[in-house]
Structure 1
Amino acid sequence: MSTQNISLSNASSNLAPKTSNNKNSAIGDTKPAEVEAKPTDVKTKFTEEEKVEFTKQAEATALANKKSLLDTMFGKNTKADSNAMRILAQETTIAIEDILKKELGDDSFSLQKLVDKTSGIKGQEDYWSSEKTSDRIITGATSYFETFKEKNASLSNEEVVDKYMNLITPALKKGMGEAVDILKGFNAFEGGVKETVETTQKLVFEKLEAFREKMLNIDKPQAEDKPLFEDTSAKPEVAGE
């Protein structure tokens, strides 16, 4: 029997009539209102040492959670490159959409349907390869050019191409830069992931330059019959269509 129980037993024996010699009978015969229990001491303040220890434990838990996430997304035996490509494509598409929404004056404008239809089928082994991912990024980035050209009919072909390049190039750099920052935040921008992302970035700007040359009609003649990449001439889809 604990010290607290002993205390309650002694207190109740003075309040209730004794009906037997059983030591526990006093507790059984006592009404709850007649028992004055001592308040339990609750610790509301921590020492500096305890605060430091609590902080260490919290940091250790956060680190463990982050490590678990990293192992899931970028660890060995997982599709680290695919996850990195998802982040790269997502951030770049968002950046391009933001620019085109402002240009269109349409907050509902979305490139996602167009991008999803181009360069591969989700689930295929190479869907998130550098080649196919860069195709989808460029498709999204260049899909609005013909509409943009119509809106700027007073400009020469060279002027409209330069103006469009000046519109989407910073958006591409911004989107891919933010994706890299995310990967660095996960400590995942290294090894194979870094190589895959950098290869994809290189392909994006090579294809962007090829698009620019084609729009300026200085593309190589032997390449004219072959599509530059998938759906480059497709107009953007607006939500609801």
Structure 2
Amino acid sequence: MIDEAEAAIIRRIFTEYDRGRSARAIAIGLNRDGIPAPRSGGKGKGTWSFSTISGNWKRGTGILNNELYVGKLVWNRQRFVKDPDSGKRQARPNPPEAWITEDIPTLRIIEEDLWSRVKHRQGAIREDILTERAEDPGAPKIERGHRPRYLLSGLLTCGCCGSGYIMISDSRLGCAAARNSGTCLNRKTIKRTDVEARVLGGLKHHLMHPDLVAEFIAEFHREMENERREGAAGSAEYRQPARPGVVVR
């Protein structure tokens, strides 16, 4: 059964995207209007973000990629394998020929023309991104996308809401919640190089304090003395005469 109130929200998202608004702008508008966001298994902050809307087109995640809105239920898009090192499950996409699709026309809430226009716009945006990466040899490679790119990546948080401080341009950091969902009013930004200089300067000043240096030297000497004693004890045990009846080779 279709929930008409929720269906109206989905239609709004598709219509605004079709009219040229970005997923980020749509998310900010939904949060501003107090429209509750979907939760996944009770998790999440209950606010809209651009990833909730745009998702991952290959995996069919995100509002704009959910084929159930055009009356199609797709199974077996991905499988899960266990990482031998961490023991955690990781998703792996299945080839399209392995997908199972069932038509459920009674659940369609998005017309085919609107769906097609949205898919066309998504494809054009992806093409532009891939072209830009191809033209810029210094652009980050896709397989390195999840690796920290900068010294403090993932370590900075907003003092107002606790969200991460992320790169919002090629040189400046800003609050992720303020940029992506509009749920934080902190619009202050700072140059990445300035933050790194402050942190490194603070570490150098505090870690090189004479008291800390003296403690490090003392601890080093204690460890060296312990190793010397253990080595001496081992040598003494090795030099002890063998007990009667024991053959030493």
Structure 1 and Structure 2 fold alike (TM over 0.5): no
Radius of gyration: which is bigger?
1
TM-score, length-normalised on structure 1?
0.22
Higher relative contact order (CA 8 A, sep 6+): 1
Structure 1 or 2: larger helix share?
1
TM-score, length-normalised on structure 2?
0.22
